[in-house]
Amino acid sequence: MAIVPNMPRSWRVETKPHKFCPGCGHGLVLKALGEAIDELDIQDRVVFGCDIGCSLLAWDFFNVDIVQTHHGRTTPVMTGIKRARPDRICIAYMGDGGGYAIGSQHLVNAATRNEKITAILVNNCNYGMTGGQMAPTTLPEMKTETTPYGRDVEETGYPTQGPEMVAAIAREGAYTARGTVANVRQLKNYLKKALQNQLEEKGFSFVEALSGCPTNWSTNAKATWAFLEENMTKYFKVGEVKVPVKEEE
């Protein structure tokens, strides 16, 4: 008997298996997101936007309405939808290049304006889709196609600390956290809280997810997890960075 894998209800079965590389973290982030959508029972209200980057492969991933936008522009598209239709739950899904490089002005300003949307950013330390170039999140000394001798922080700066940056800008009511695909249950909880924050119209919500890119890292399963759990978490601290203050406080 064929074993039917356990998929979130909001996943679109017809488009599975998904299109990410084997061992890619994107699938796990979207699993956590699918479960969060299911548990909050918001499938009817979600509008999902995906960036250009490997996130574009999610354009038919869920049984929710989806629009694929441009590289870095998912945040403004979802902002535009939310402003026009405040009753929708708008999710902007992007990579670290999309969110921290080409679209950083949109992330910063959406946070500043406390847009009532949820941004989810997959940090895989490189530009995955274009073949493994340096991203704003590439670790010091890390080799990529455009840093073949390792990232020189003197020349290219230090990796972006996204949730910390957003937390520093965003007002009270915003939610920011960093999860990891190494702990999907925790990541799901962060995503749930982020979406809950939008549901309660408290403010901007932002979750970065540490994620593996075995294809461009050229790592096997063991080395992928080692890099994710050891190297990345040394620099990118997993946990909640900013949570809305409780009303009674």
Partner 1 sequence: MVEKAITGEKRAFMTGNEAVAWAALAAEAEIMYGYPITPQNEIMHYWTRLAPKYGRKFLQTEDEISAGFTTCGGVLAGKRAFTATAGPGNILMQEAMSMAEMLRIPTVVVVQQRGGPSTATVIYSQQETTLTCFGGNGEGLRIVYSTSSHQELFDYTIKAFQIAWKYRFPTFVLGDGYQAKMRESLYLYNPEEKGIPLAEPYPFLGQEGRPGVEREPSHLRNTYNTEEELYQIISRYVEDYERMTPEVVEYQASDFEDAEIVLIAHGIVSRAARAAVKALRSEGLKVGYFRPITLRPFPVGKLREIAPKAKKLVVAESAQGQLFKLVQEALYGETVPLEPYFKPGLGITSEELVEFIMF
> Given the rule CB under 6 A, which residues bind ligand TPP?
52-55, 71, 95-98, 122, 124, 127-130, 135
- Cα Rg of the chain, angstroms: 17
Nearer to ligand TPP, 128 or 159 (CB): 128
Q: Which of residues 85-114 bind ligand SF4 (CB under 6 A)?
A: none
Q: Which of residues 99-128 bind partner 1 (CB under 8 A)?
A: 105-106, 108-109
Nearer to partner 1, 82 or 151 (CB): 82
Torsion angle of alpha carbons 131, 142, 75, 17, nearest 10°? 50
Q: Which of residues 203-232 bind ligand SF4 (CB under 6 A)?
A: 213-216
Please give the Cα distance from 175 to 167 (Å, whole number): 8
Amino acid sitting at position 26: H
Listing DSSP states for 8-53 in one string gives -TTB-GGG-S-SSPTT-SHHHHHHHHHHHHHHHT-TTTEEEEE-SS
Nearer to ligand TPP, 96 or 115 (CB): 96
Q: Which of residues 60-99 bind partner 1 (CB under 8 A)?
A: 60, 62-70, 73, 76-85, 88
Question: What H or E segment, with its residue span, contains residue 121?
Answer: strand 118-123
Site for Mg ion contains 208 (CB under 5 A): no
Q: By the criterion CB under 5 A, which residues form the site for Mg ion?
A: 95-96, 124, 128
